[in-house]
Amino acid sequence: MPGFHTYEQLRQAEDVQDMIYIVSPVDAPVASMSKTIRATGKLHEWTEDKLLAAGPNKHVEGAAAPADVSAPVTEKSNYCQIMSKRAEITGTLEDVEKYGRTSEMSYQLNFGLAA
């Protein structure tokens, strides 16, 4: 493919998320409801920490502190990839009433199984 490509460039700025994401041992509703973050480089990096499982932590006054069970945060990363998909839908199929979706083109581009 002719032209100049980002993977050929040297010393691109790092794309590191300045936040620690807390992952619950049960579920992570806040993470799944949070907004999408825009990647600004080929390699996107972030930090993840896990909450300890709930357990009994009461102690009598003067008791020795239990051993520390903390773990360091985990550094995560993911490379950005350009994806391409093509869908062809007839005008009639797009215009007729359908069950489960209003636009066949939108459905095929987002969820369709066709290659």
In this structure, what token pair is assigned to residue 79?
């490379």
pLDDT string in tens for the chain (115-residue length): 555 555 555 566 777 777 766 666 556 566 556 667 777 888 888 888 877 777 777 888 888 888 887 788 888 888 888 877 788 889 999 999 888 888 988 888 887 765 4
**Pairing mode, strands 43-50 and 74-79:** antiparallel
Q: How far is CA 88 from the centre of its chain?
A: 29
Domain locations in the chain? 6-82, 83-115
Q: What is the C-alpha to C-alpha distance for residues 9 and 30, in angstroms, rounded to an integer?
A: 37
Quote the pTM value: 0.43
Angle (nearest 5°) at CA 81 between 20 and 88:
125
Structure confidence at residue 11 (pLDDT): 61
- The radius of gyration computed from the CA coordinates of the chain, to the nearest angstrom, equals 24
